[in-house]
Homo-oligomer: A and B are copies of this chain.
Amino acid sequence: MAETFYKEHSKFHVAVDCIIFGFDDGMLKLLIHKRKFEPFLDHWSLFGGFLRSDESLDDGARRILFELTGLENIYLEQLYAHGEPMRDPAGRVVSVSYVALIPGHKYHSGFSEQYDAVWIPLNMMPDLIMDHNDMVERGLKWLRRRASTRPIGFELLPEEFTIPRLQNLYEAILGEKLDKRNFRKKLLSMDFLKKLEEKDKTGSRKGAYLYKFDQQMYNKLVDNGFSFTI
């Protein structure tokens, strides 16, 4: 069919590259690996692959993430299409980048060794192939903007988390210290955090209460015109 109407037009390889954020040890990190094929075999690279003829971009991103890391049900969002003619010296490839946020409880699940993936703190990023460093930079900007206008920080934490831990995350994302009291006050005033009975004692002797993000409550608030900001 395509051949009927569009055959005179050029065709392109379409790739998907995943900018995979994680949060550990008080630091934002990115999951990268050494490329498994030519060109740039063995160079540091984002996780990427070619789109298949029967899948959407979103499906492609999901598949690639799964194939290369074994991770499923991950927060994924399209970021930007890169199409400089010479961006890949091995051929004309349009690459669509996606941001993925890996929650805390999957961060340490052993996949990274199996799949030869490594977590690298953002401020120690090596040179990546092609325009991947640009993608990372764009991804970080996206994360900053997004995390301050949507409650997506929770995507990077375990389901149950403490307020201090959440604050550390926001500090890492925004790159600035925040005031403890103001942070807590603001978050709790928004009414979508459910306090649990237990404490997490890994962070201190005293222990800090665990909380859960209440998605339903958040949705209700949004319906009533509430909008998240931090």
Interface residues of A (CB under 8 A from B): 1-6, 9-14, 37-39, 50-58, 60, 78, 80-85, 89-94, 96
Contacts and interface: CB of A to CB of B under 8 A. Distances in A.
Contacts of A96: 81, 83, 94
Contact of A84 (B10, B38, B56): B56
Nearest to A16: B83
Contact of A93 (B6, B80, B84, B91): B6
Given A14-B12, A14-B94, A94-B57, A50 B83 contact: no
A89 B1 contact: yes
A96 B79 CA distance: 12
Contact of A11 (B1, B3, B4, B11): B11
Nearest to A149: B145
A50 B85 contact: no
A130 to B, nearest CB: 13
Contact of A12 (B12, B84, B89): B12
Contact of A92 (B53, B83, B93): B53
Given A10-B50, A12-B12, A5 B91 contact: yes
Nearest to A50: B9
Contacts of A82: 57
Contacts of A14: 10-12, 14, 83, 94
Contact of A13 (B11, B91, B93): B11
A81 B84 contact: no
